[in-house]
Amino acid sequence: MSPERLTRVATYASVSLAALLIVVKALGWGITGSVSLLASLLDSALDVAASVMILFAVRLAQVPADKEHRFGHGKAEPLAALAQSVFIAGSAFYLFVYALERLWHPQPVEHIELGVWIMVFSMVATALLVMFQRYVVAQTQSVAIKSDSLHYVSDLAANALVIVGLLLTLWAIQWVDAAFGLLIALFIGYSALKLAKESANQLLDIELPDALREQVQQIILTHRGVEGFNDLRTYRSGPNVFIQFDLELDDRMPLVRAHAIAEEVTERIKDQIPNADVIIHQEPVSLRADPAHHQWGDA
């Protein structure tokens, strides 16, 4: 299955699961009146909105470059992920206020056993989705699917907390339900901040990880005829990776040979780094200002 199809399937699975959990948790909250179950319900409701947003963002990010968007539409993914973090932060604030109110004015939780079973079902279904999403991220490096997966991982921890709270409430410790609702709100808020930071970094064209830059460096320097390189710049835009640098070649090398070497280096990078867009400027090695300049391309 192609990377593009994998990301689409992952978004469909995310939306479907979130919709199912809304129905199940709404039923459970209506019966039990549990604050922590409401917290989980609210989170699932936002999952639907966020996952639909991610679905459209992934489809837009995969649209090929056109006359008005020469570098493609990949920024749609981190933009949607940043918007998702705002939704998540809003839900965390609402839940925090609601849980505080219930902490000061506690109300009994009913049919606790049913609530526990609902949360167990939610955890199993969510765990299966996370496993699939991690496989998709490993194959596609999609930041949108990664952000969605991180959110569902936080859901697993929150669901486990809800189960513990319900069980403690079963033992007549009534304030625990609201207290755990507060903890879940704080956890969701922290997840929103992490997601916002990662999305903003990609929108601001943060450099690729050092390991990937080192891989590019090895590809360049191990090619016969290459004297070095400088001014290496990289960034990710959705499913695409952009790499550009100056390729240092012998001053007396014919233009045809220099062009051939640049093309060979480009193809080697594309073979090892999926969805790479490589821009190479050929440069005489005699112009190298600093012998160490080629290591990372720092200007």
| pLDDT tens per residue, range 43-102 | 777 767 666 766 666 666 666 666 666 566 666 667 777 777 777 787 778 777 767 766
Where residue 159 falls among pLDDT bands split at 50, 70, 90?
confident
According to the model, what pLDDT value does residue 299 have? Answer: 40
Where residue 296 falls among pLDDT bands split at 50, 70, 90?
very low
User: Quick one: which of 290, 287, 288, 277 has its CA closest to 233?
Assistant: 277
According to the model, what pLDDT value does residue 61 have? Answer: 63
Q: Is the dihedral of CA 141, 142, 147, 148 positive or negative?
A: negative
The whole-model pTM stands at: 0.53
Average pLDDT over residues 135-160: 76
DSSP state of 207: P
According to the model, what pLDDT value does residue 297 have? Answer: 47
User: Quick one: which of 84, 80, 74 has its CA closest to 238?
Assistant: 74
Residue 278, pLDDT > 70, answer yes
The answer to whether 233 and 299 have CB atoms below 8 angstroms apart is: no
State both tokens at 76. Answer: 């749609």
Range with the poorest average pLDDT among 62-76, 132-146, 186-200, 245-259: 62-76
Q: Which of 216-220, 275-279, 283-287 has the highest mean pLDDT?
A: 216-220
Which regions of the chain carry the CATH code 1.20.1510.10?
3-203
CATH classification for the domain delimited by 3-203, as one of 1.20.1510.10, 3.30.470.10, 2.60.40.1180, 3.30.43.10 = 1.20.1510.10
Work out the percent of the chain whose per-residue pLDDT is above 90: 11
User: Quick one: which of 119, 118, 146 has its CA closest to 130?
Assistant: 146
What letters, b where the CB count within 10 A reaches 16 and e where it falls short, cover 255-264? eeebeebbee
According to the model, what pLDDT value does residue 265 have? Answer: 92
Average pLDDT over residues 139-146: 74
According to the model, what pLDDT value does residue 261 have? Answer: 92
User: Quick one: which of 25, 94, 88, 20 has its CA closest to 54?
Assistant: 88
Q: Is the dihedral of CA 44, 48, 49, 54 positive or negative?
A: positive
Place of tokens 């990662």: 198
Mean pLDDT of the chain: 78
Which regions of the chain carry the CATH code 3.30.70.1350?
210-287
Packed helices 143-170 and 112-140: angle between N→C axes, nearest 10 degrees: 160
Starting at the edge strand found earlier in the chain, the sheet holding 276-284 runs 228-237, 240-249, 276-284
Neighbours of 299 (CB within 10 A): 6
The answer to whether 130 and 147 have CB atoms below 8 angstroms apart is: no
According to the model, what pLDDT value does residue 65 have? Answer: 64
Neighbours of 142 (CB within 10 A): 29
- Where are the alpha helices (H) located in the chain, listed in sequence order? 3-32, 35-61, 76-104, 112-140, 143-170, 175-203, 210-221, 255-272
Alpha carbon distance 138, 32 (integer Å): 40
210-287 sits in which CATH class?
A: alpha beta
Place of tokens 């969701």: 188
Alpha carbon distance 12, 22 (integer Å): 16
Alpha carbon distance 79, 77 (integer Å): 5
